[in-house]
């Protein structure tokens, strides 16, 4: 039976059992699955004791090889769903210098794969936990084929944390737990797993990895194995099931995001193209975000207007890009909370949104305080200077929704000592192992998809180093002349205990200062909990780059601006040079 | 005037002169080109003494910068043909940490490039001889753009031979010779160049590299430079011209091959698809090849039939794939030369060719000796056993025209102690720097062209290591069971004094033993002179691989055979793994 139900996940979490080769697969299925506690069998399809004549090349005749039979009363549906095949026997030497050994091994491997494929059995390449490099080399030889997946053989001694982490970026479909890694408590006979193993298994559950419990020390004869009972393994099953049950509960938000995991979503092109109503819906649900705005505005109002003058001074506040009024609402709440008087101009250029904004204001009788301005902020002649600008053009990478350009335009009607909320924002980058994202982009076969920055709910990825700052923008600007172009060189050092790693691209985050100490952001080490508006950005590399232990990954990022658009370019120059990505914004850009 | 005429080359060999910046380009052209001895000017387009204010970002206004003017009486045709622009000034620091310096440098560089592009001037990236790595990194950042070319600045001290050789694979469009590298003979005032410089320049002529003579030590003011006379440089020009004139004369064969240099030609698919008549024409012109066959057959006849039995024994000789009769002719000449009697069966499956073959035999009255058999050798029932098989299925990579498979079929009617001519052949591989070939394949954008083995007249390539043996086939086979599949792992060590290098693919060659010591082949270190039939093969890599000094390039090659076709697969596993190329023969193969 599954370790847990599908309530909090897309699939039930399955646990299988490894059994030795058996000619009678039906019996093994009956014992372990139909009448047992396991969800599937993991077993060889070929008698493991078999060894061909080493002096003679094999003729490719399946009849001669001792295979698990198809006429065993196991239906094709059962083969497909309940049996995972293990390549056997272990003496297969595909790289032997001896031509006969190699040709035989090749013939046997090929037959097993074809046989498994005919039965629709799921095939698994069996890997050691410390052999990420072998897997990586194999994956590259196979040109990053999307159907290659990994089964991890979990040993008692685990590699260092950073080394282990690399697997979280890989398609780990199964983890094989030998019963030998379980320990027994001194008092009583209770089984338990070492802490690091528990954590690893919990992390693998996060990747929907299936578990296989295995008690095969030395391959035994087919007969004795088929006769063994699975009951003794139930105790191990319980341990694994406990780990599954003890996981943190999944939040409503996380649950709603299951289907978007590791899917590349084109990033918004704002300004000229108006957002759809549905994107406003999503953004407005973010309570944490608007609460931060309310606090920031409150603090600005308190500092700008002393208590004794609260009743005489009305602060002029311009909401730049008022949308459907959430920032107007936050501003009014801040005024109420602080007892300050406000005069609000709600500037919005999307005519559809202005209708909703207008309705909101009339419904709440805010007409006396709030003036709706249906205009692009660049074209608006403000009737008076603003004390406070409030805006919300922050993108997943900070400046990528043209906040700098929009606020430049608004600055001309801001008082010399006026305040901009947000007052600054910084973007961050972090190198990722993300083969799934690479395969997705590669499947599209064009340059556009291989160098377009996207929004991604990052899940099955490995974060190789801490993130680093890229570009910072502050408002109001001290000089009109200051350009919004930026260039930054970053050097990421791959930790020595990671070993080698593949870099498929970079995650992009941001942190923003709304006002003084009121901050929020998505940068992983300091991220604001429950801030749901922003998915991370993903800047792909057209060809993944291999970095070795302790080496430096040198990356260059540009924010480029011309008269009509803004775009990013990026490249790697060490350990090897990539092409410059998105030259002249040919694949992705933001219209001005 | 050109260094030499276009008689022995596609283009005349040009020699230019480097001059300092001048506002009056027309005057500099008049002095140096119109009334002088040089073919073009190499000069900056911008006053080299100019330096912008470092504390202020430049506004992009060309009027402000001191440019060589367009209204100088120089026509656009002259700009395009007679002026090569040099990026200036030298203080341009495009990677400066100081944002103002960087932005200014960027603006100036961009203006110069745009200005040069508007004038159709040829732009050259000015490189140091020892900075191949800088060039390589730059090329990779630009995604291997085909319009990037190199100008080598030749210094007095040259880098090691292997390091220098790498440039022979690169698009070296110009070599700048500072007059300082010329030496003066003790007696008299005669100029000369050091031996290694002479050789380098001769080698560069081979790549159609233009020469620029430069006497600019320190940039001087525009006025004094424009006023200087070019006459003193004529002595240097003569030296370079001498090197050009002393080159080996170009053979008729080489001349006929100029137009095929570095062009990818799909390799033949023999057997099912009959060759066109024109390809027979080319092959039959190869006198050296047929002379080797004649000698090999002569030796086989002498050893098989002792002098005293020459008049009684008739040797049965089967020409497998007789084509239009060149091997039949060689066999009959060998019989005549040795005084041995022959009975010849000329087996040919191409019905068109059989007509020509038949004509040849009747025209020469060979009817009594030669029987024409219009049949595929696999289907022919030989009326008697053969003493000698003569065949000519050798391809550029030895076995790639299915010689092994064709001779397997013929072996059934060969005497137990019979002789096959050729008796064995071996293929060879050699790693190449060949960016031109890579660009050609890349321009096609499909996987077929990026992993198809081709025939190439290799010219602008760098051969990075000596070649190594790959597959050997011997005939007759000792055992019927012996497979024609092959696998070989090769390890090429990049010489330490080469430095880093890019591998774009592998050249394929072959050597063949026709009979005992009668050998011929195309492997560079032992190649038979004037053997014109075979161009080298080229096995491309889908993505070029960078190898560092002294490191090992590990390559795997397979010859795969199934019931319908034969193909090669290849991959690199060190220093990094490539995909396996041409999996299952998806891009190139030979039909059985």
Question: According to the model, what pLDDT value does residue A69 have?
Answer: 62
CB within 8 Å of A7: residues ≥ 6 apart: none
- B481 and A57 within 8 Å at the Cβ level: the answer is yes
Poorest-pLDDT segment among A444-448, B242-246, B473-477: A444-448
DSSP A495-537: PGGG-SEEEEEEEEEEEEEEETTEEEE--GGGPPTT--S-PPE
- B141 and A571 within 8 Å at the Cβ level: the answer is yes
B576 in contact with A, Cβ within 8 Å: yes
A57, A543, A573: residue with CB nearest B137:
A573
Return the SS3 of B20: coil
Question: According to the model, what pLDDT value does residue A413 have?
Answer: 95
pLDDT band of residue B219 (cuts 50, 70, 90) is very low
What ranges in A339-390 are assigned the alpha helix state H? 351-363
Mutate to test the interface with B, among A102, A141, A551, A555 (most CBs of B within 10 A): A141
Distance from first CA to last CA of chain A, Å, rounded? 57
* Phi, psi angles (nearest 5°) of residue B47: -55, 120
Whether residue A188 is predicted with pLDDT greater than 80 in this model: the reply is no
Question: According to the model, what pLDDT value does residue A143 have?
Answer: 87
- Say what percent of chain A tops pLDDT 90: 48
- A487 and B102 within 8 Å at the Cβ level: the answer is yes
The residues pairing with A552 across neighbouring beta strands, listed in sequence order, are: A493
Poorest-pLDDT segment among A251-265, A407-421, A577-591, B401-415: A251-265
- B140 and A576 within 8 Å at the Cβ level: the answer is yes
How far apart are the C-alpha atoms of A492 and A550, rounded to whole Å?
Answer: 10
B256 in contact with A, Cβ within 8 Å: no
Question: According to the model, what pLDDT value does residue A52 have?
Answer: 60
Q: Look up residue B364 and give its two tokens.
A: 């020469």
Question: According to the model, what pLDDT value does residue B56 have?
Answer: 57
Poorest-pLDDT segment among A16-30, B132-146, B227-241: B227-241
How far apart are the C-alpha atoms of A409 and B345, rounded to whole Å?
Answer: 91
State the average pLDDT over residues A345-366.
Answer: 92
How far A270 CA sits from the closest chain B CA (Å)?
27
Q: Which H, E and C letters describe B101-155, residue by residue?
A: HHHHHHHHHHHHHHHHHHCCCEEEEEEECCCHHHHHHHHHHCCCCCCCCEEEEEC
Poorest-pLDDT segment among A93-102, A153-162, B337-346: A93-102
A556 in contact with B, Cβ within 8 Å: no
Question: According to the model, what pLDDT value does residue A276 have?
Answer: 56
Query: Among the CATH numbers 2.60.120.1440, 2.70.160.11, 3.40.50.300, 1.10.1740.10, which is that of B425-591?
Result: 2.70.160.11
How far A283 CA sits from the closest chain B CA (Å)?
36
Q: From the CA atom positions of chain A, what is the Rg in Å?
A: 30
Is B47 within 8 Å of B38 (Cβ atoms)? no
Query: Among the CATH numbers 3.40.50.300, 3.40.50.150, 3.40.50.720, 2.40.160.20, which is that of A277-392?
Result: 3.40.50.150
B584 in contact with A, Cβ within 8 Å: no
- Burial level of A501, CB count in 10 A (0-12/13-18/19+)? buried
A573 contacts in chain B (CB < 8 Å): 137, 141
Whether residue B499 is predicted with pLDDT greater than 70 in this model: the reply is yes
Between B314 and A150, the more confident residue is: B314
Poorest-pLDDT segment among A402-406, A465-469, B54-58, B437-441: B54-58
How far apart are the C-alpha atoms of B167 and B127, rounded to whole Å?
Answer: 11
CA angle B400, B403, B408 (to 5 degrees): 135
State the average pLDDT over residues A2-16.
Answer: 66
How far A520 CA sits from the closest chain B CA (Å)?
29
- B577 and A136 within 8 Å at the Cβ level: the answer is yes
A576 in contact with B, Cβ within 8 Å: yes
B6-249 is classed CATH 3.20.20.150: yes
Q: Which fold, A6-250?
A: TIM Barrel (3.20.20)
A571 in contact with B, Cβ within 8 Å: yes
- B580 and A141 within 8 Å at the Cβ level: the answer is yes
B142, B144, B577: residue with CB nearest A140:
B577
State the DSSP H helix or E strand holding residue B81, giving kind and residue range, or none if neither: helix B76-82
State the average pLDDT over residues B41-60.
Answer: 65
A543 contacts in chain B (CB < 8 Å): 543
State the average pLDDT over residues B521-537.
Answer: 94
How far A408 CA sits from the closest chain B CA (Å)?
18
Question: According to the model, what pLDDT value does residue B254 have?
Answer: 78
The 3-state DSSP composition of chain B as helix, strand, coil percent (nearest 5) reads 35, 30, 40
How many of the other CB atoms lie within 10 Å of CB of A134? 12
B579 in contact with A, Cβ within 8 Å: yes
Question: According to the model, what pLDDT value does residue B226 have?
Answer: 42
Question: According to the model, what pLDDT value does residue B120 have?
Answer: 62
- A483 and B578 within 8 Å at the Cβ level: the answer is no
- A485 and B142 within 8 Å at the Cβ level: the answer is no
How far A143 CA sits from the closest chain B CA (Å)?
5
A477 in contact with B, Cβ within 8 Å: no
State the average pLDDT over residues B523-534.
Answer: 93
Mutate to test the interface with A, among B579, B581, B587 (most CBs of A within 10 A): B579
Question: According to the model, what pLDDT value does residue B11 have?
Answer: 60
Distance from first CA to last CA of chain B, Å, rounded? 57
How far apart are the C-alpha atoms of A389 and B495, rounded to whole Å?
Answer: 65
State the average pLDDT over residues A180-185.
Answer: 87
How far B451 CA sits from the closest chain A CA (Å)?
13
Q: Are strands B210-214 and B172-178 parallel, antiparallel or unpaired?
A: parallel
How far B436 CA sits from the closest chain A CA (Å)?
17
How far apart are the C-alpha atoms of A162 and A150, rounded to whole Å?
Answer: 18
How far apart are the C-alpha atoms of B457 and B455, rounded to whole Å?
Answer: 7
Q: Are strands A537-547 and A501-515 parallel, antiparallel or unpaired?
A: antiparallel
- A103 and B481 within 8 Å at the Cβ level: the answer is no
Name the DSSP letter for residue B395.
Answer: B
Poorest-pLDDT segment among A457-471, B152-166, B451-465: B152-166
How far A420 CA sits from the closest chain B CA (Å)?
25
Question: According to the model, what pLDDT value does residue A372 have?
Answer: 95
**Domain A424-591 has what CATH class?**
mainly beta
> For B481, which residue in chain A has the nearest alpha carbon?
A57
pLDDT tens figures, A384-442:
999 999 999 999 999 999 999 999 999 999 999 999 999 999 999 999 999 999 999 88
> For A59, which residue in chain B has the nearest alpha carbon?
B481
* CA A458 from centroid of its chain's CA atoms: 1
Question: According to the model, what pLDDT value does residue A72 have?
Answer: 63
* CA B92 from centroid of its chain's CA atoms: 37
- A578 and B137 within 8 Å at the Cβ level: the answer is no
pLDDT tens figures, A112-171:
777 777 666 665 544 474 578 888 888 888 888 888 888 888 888 888 899 999 999 999
pLDDT band of residue B58 (cuts 50, 70, 90) is low
How far A307 CA sits from the closest chain B CA (Å)?
44
Question: According to the model, what pLDDT value does residue A227 have?
Answer: 45
Mutate to test the interface with B, among A577, A580, A584 (most CBs of B within 10 A): A577
State the DSSP H helix or E strand holding residue A281, giving kind and residue range, or none if neither: helix A277-284
A485 contacts in chain B (CB < 8 Å): 103
ipTM: 0.77
A554 contacts in chain B (CB < 8 Å): none
pLDDT band of residue A90 (cuts 50, 70, 90) is low
In the stretch 480-519 of chain B, residues with CB closer than 8 A to chain A read 481, 483, 485, 487
Whether residue B478 is predicted with pLDDT greater than 80 in this model: the reply is yes
Mutate to test the interface with A, among B576, B582, B586, B587 (most CBs of A within 10 A): B576
pLDDT band of residue A230 (cuts 50, 70, 90) is very low
pLDDT band of residue B217 (cuts 50, 70, 90) is low
How far apart are the C-alpha atoms of B434 and B207, rounded to whole Å?
Answer: 13
A55 in contact with B, Cβ within 8 Å: no
How far apart are the C-alpha atoms of B503 and B463, rounded to whole Å?
Answer: 10
Between B226 and B496, the more confident residue is: B496
Question: According to the model, what pLDDT value does residue B218 have?
Answer: 44
Mutate to test the interface with A, among B143, B481, B583 (most CBs of A within 10 A): B143
State the average pLDDT over residues A58-70.
Answer: 55
> For B542, which residue in chain A has the nearest alpha carbon?
A143
User: Taking the domains of chain A in order of start, what are their residue ranges?
Assistant: 6-250, 277-392, 424-591
B141 contacts in chain A (CB < 8 Å): 571, 573, 577-580
- A483 and B142 within 8 Å at the Cβ level: the answer is no
How far A198 CA sits from the closest chain B CA (Å)?
34
pLDDT band of residue B276 (cuts 50, 70, 90) is low
Helix (H) and strand (E) counts in chain A:
16, 26
How far apart are the C-alpha atoms of A580 and B137, rounded to whole Å?
Answer: 11
Question: According to the model, what pLDDT value does residue A173 have?
Answer: 87
A108 φψ region: left (φ > 0), alpha (ψ -120 to 50), beta (else): alpha
- Say what percent of chain B tops pLDDT 70: 86
């Amino acid at each position: 039976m599954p370790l847990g139900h599908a309530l909090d996940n897309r699939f039930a979490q399955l646990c299988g059992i490894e059994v030795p080769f058996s000619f009678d697969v039906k019996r093994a299925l009956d014992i372990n699955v139909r009448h047992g506690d396991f969800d599937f069998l993991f077993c060889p399809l070929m008698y493991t004791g078999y060894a061909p004549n080493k002096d003679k090349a094999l003729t490719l005749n399946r009849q001669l090889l001792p295979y698990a039979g198809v006429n065993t009363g196991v239906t094709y549906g059962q083969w497909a769903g309940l049996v995972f095949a293990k390549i056997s026997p272990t003496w297969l030497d595909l790289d032997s210098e001896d031509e006969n050994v190699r040709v035989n091994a090749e013939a046997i491997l090929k037959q097993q794969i074809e046989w498994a494929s005919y039965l629709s059995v799921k095939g698994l390449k069996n890997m050691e936990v410390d052999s990420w490099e072998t897997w990586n080399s194999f994956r590259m030889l196979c040109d990053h084929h999307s159907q290659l997946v990994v089964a991890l053989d979990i040993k008692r001694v685990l590699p260092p944390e950073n080394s282990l982490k690399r697997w979280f970026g890989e398609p780990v479909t199964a983890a094989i737990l030998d019963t030998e890694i379980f320990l027994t408590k001194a008092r009583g006979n209770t089984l338990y797993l070492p802490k690091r193993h528990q954590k690893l298994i919990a992390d693998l559950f996060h990747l929907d990895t299936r578990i296989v419990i295995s008690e095969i020390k030395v391959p035994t004869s087919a007969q004795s194995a088929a006769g063994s009972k699975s009951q003794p393994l139930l105790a191990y099953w319980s341990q694994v099931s406990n780990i599954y049950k003890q996981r943190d509960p999944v939040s409503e938000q996380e649950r709603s995001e299951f289907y978007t995991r590791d899917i590349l979503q084109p990033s918004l092109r704002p300004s000229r193209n108006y957002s759809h109503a549905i994107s406003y819906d999503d953004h407005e649900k973010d309570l944490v975000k608007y609460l931060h705005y309310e606090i920031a505005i409150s603090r600005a109002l308190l500092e700008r207007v002393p208590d004794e003058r609260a009743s005489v001074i009305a602060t002029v506040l311009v909401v730049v890009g008022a949308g459907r009024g959430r920032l107007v609402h936050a501003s009014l709440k801040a005024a109420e909370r602080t007892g300050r008087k406000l005069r609000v101009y709600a500037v919005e250029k999307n005519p559809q949104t202005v209708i909703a904004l207008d309705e909101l204001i009339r419904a709440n009788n805010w007409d006396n305080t709030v003036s709706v301005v249906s205009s692009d902020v660049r074209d608006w002649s403000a009737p008076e200077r603003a004390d406070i600008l409030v805006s919300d053009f922050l993108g997943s990478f900070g400046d990528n929704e043209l906040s700098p350009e929009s606020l430049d335009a608004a600055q001309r009607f801001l008082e010399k000592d006026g305040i901009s909320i947000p007052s600054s924002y910084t973007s961050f980058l972090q190198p990722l192992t993300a083969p799934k994202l690479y395969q997705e982009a590669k499947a599209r076969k064009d340059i556009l998809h291989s160098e377009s920055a996207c929004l991604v709910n990052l899940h099955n990825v490995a974060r190789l180093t801490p993130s680093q700052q890229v570009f910072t923008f502050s408002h109001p600007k001290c000089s009109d002349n200051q350009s919004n172009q930026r260039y930054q060189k970053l050097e990421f050092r791959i930790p020595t205990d990671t070993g080698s790693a593949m870099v498929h691209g970079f995650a992009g985050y941001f942190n923003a200062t709304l006002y003084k100490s009121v901050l929020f952001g998505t940068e992983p080490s300091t991220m604001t909990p429950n801030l749901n508006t922003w998915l991370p950005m993903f800047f792909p590399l057209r060809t993944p780059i291999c970095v070795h232990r302790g080496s430096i990954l040198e990356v260059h990022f540009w924010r480029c601006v011309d008269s009509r658009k803004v775009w990013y370019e990026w490249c790697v120059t060490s350990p090897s040079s990539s092409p410059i990505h998105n030259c002249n914004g040919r694949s992705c850009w933001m219209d001005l």
